[in-house]
Amino acid sequence: MKTILIGGDSWGCGEWTWLSKRKYGVSHKGLEQYLVDDGFSVVNSAQGGSSNSQSIERVAQQLKLNNYDHIVWFQSDPLRDLKYTTFNSLFTSYQQVLDCHNELLNSSYEQLNQLGNKVICVGGCSKLDPDIRNYNNLIPLVDSMIELIIPHITAPNIWCNDWLHYIDANTNKSLKRLFDRLLVDKKIQEQITAEPIMNPCGYHPNRDGHRVLYDTIKEFLT
């Protein structure tokens, strides 16, 4: 029986549904479940709310315990690795956010590459950066799960998490321009979350989306 290790954030956990007005949980294990149904042995280290560095560290810890035939890693929003309250002091332009976004991604890729194992990489809420192709242990199989399952939508440059609220747009004109530009990405994000394949919770691909991803990964593995 072949073994697979899954790493990442909540997108690696599967389909989520609302359990109450303020709480949601996993209702289908998504990729993990499809792999198990197909005869694979799966360990899933993905956790909701994880930054990329945190998810990679969990992968590293699992590799100290066991060997795996394959590793699948879901990339999260790289800006989760920042302290959100520093946004006003760090950025005054959208380009600065993009540059930091890409620097953080490449730092994660370097960390992931240094594990020494081949890793199948999936762009989750954030799209894989083209620079990932410079790392010999990383396999950029799915640049964007969003674009894979919703082909009529192009993934936004930046996936706006709660940190958007830490930008004080009233401080100066530069921050107001930055905030307004990020809202363009936010509107694309809202179009994505309104798609049926993102139901029932609206923030994660459902089991149908994970089935599309599974079919892509299975084709690669066979």
pLDDT confidence of 146, banded at 50, 70, 90?
very high
Q: What is the pLDDT of residue 24?
A: 83
pLDDT confidence of 118, banded at 50, 70, 90?
very high
State the CB neighbour count (10 A cutoff) for residue 15: 21
Domain 3-82+101-155+202-221 sits in CATH 3.40.50.1110: yes
> Between vectors from CA 43 to CA 34 and to CA 201, what angle results, nearest 5°?
55
Residue 135 has pLDDT above 80, yes or no: yes
Tokens of 191: 């179009």
What confidence tens digit (pLDDT) does each residue in 123-133 have? 999 999 999 99
What's the whole-model pTM score? Answer: 0.95
Tokens 């959100």 belong to: 84
User: What's the average model confidence in pLDDT over 2-29?
Assistant: 93
User: What's the average model confidence in pLDDT over 180-197?
Assistant: 96
pLDDT confidence of 170, banded at 50, 70, 90?
confident
Residue 106 has pLDDT above 80, yes or no: yes
What confidence tens digit (pLDDT) does each residue in 58-88 have? 999 999 999 999 999 999 999 999 988 778 8
Q: Tell me which range, 87-91, 95-99, 162-166, is most confidently predicted by mean pLDDT.
A: 95-99
What DSSP string runs through the chain?
Answer: --EEEEESSGGGT-EEEESSSS-EEEEE-THHHHHHHTT-EEEE---TT--HHHHHHHHHHHHHH---SEEEEEE--GGGGS-GGGHHHH-SSHHHHHHHHHHHHHHHHHHHHTT-S-EEEEE-SSPPPGGGGG-TTEEEEES-HHHHH-TTSPPPSS---GGGGGS-TTS-HHHHHHHHHHHHHHHHHHHHHTSGGGTTTSSS--HHHHHHHHHHHHHHH-
Q: What is the pLDDT of residue 180?
A: 94
What confidence tens digit (pLDDT) does each residue in 25-65 have? 999 999 999 999 999 999 999 999 999 999 999 999 999 99
Instruction: Round the average pLDDT of the chain to a whole number and report it.
Output: 95
Tokens of 114: 């240094």
* Residue extents of the structural domains in the chain: 3-82+101-155+202-221
Residue 120 has pLDDT above 90, yes or no: yes
Q: What is the pLDDT of residue 20?
A: 78
